[in-house]
Amino acid sequence: MTDAELRNLLIDCLRLWEVEGRVTVRDTDVAIETPGGVFTVARADVDLRPVRWFYSTPEREAAGRPPRAAPSIVALLSALRNAMGGEGGDWLRVGSG
């Protein structure tokens, strides 16, 4: 995933989650500026696999805690949505009813 693709994905997610924000690609990470603070996303080094991403929240930064690891893009997006208080969207139900 390129930086541009990650940026576009995060912009789409913010819209879906109904979170106001701006996504900026920086030298070492991607910053997501929201009214709740700045969230960051960085790629993990290849030698750290299965960890693929690191993210930080304003609360982690304020507490002086290091970024948290995420093993996949799905885990990363879920963690960010929860940390931002984003909407979950509609759930699809399949069944006879």
Compare 46 and 30 and report the one with higher pLDDT: 30
What is d(CA 43, CA 62) in angstroms, rounded to the nearest whole number? 22
Residue type, 92: L
Task: Convert the pLDDT of each residue in 40-78 to its tens digit.
Answer: 999 999 898 889 999 999 999 999 999 999 999 999 999
What is d(CA 57, CA 59) in angstroms, rounded to the nearest whole number? 5
Is the pLDDT assigned to residue 92 strictly greater than 60? no
| Averaged pLDDT score across all residues of the chain | 92
Structure tokens at 38: 């700045």
Which pTM does this prediction carry? 0.85
Domain residue ranges in the chain: 3-84
Q: What is the pLDDT of residue 88?
A: 73
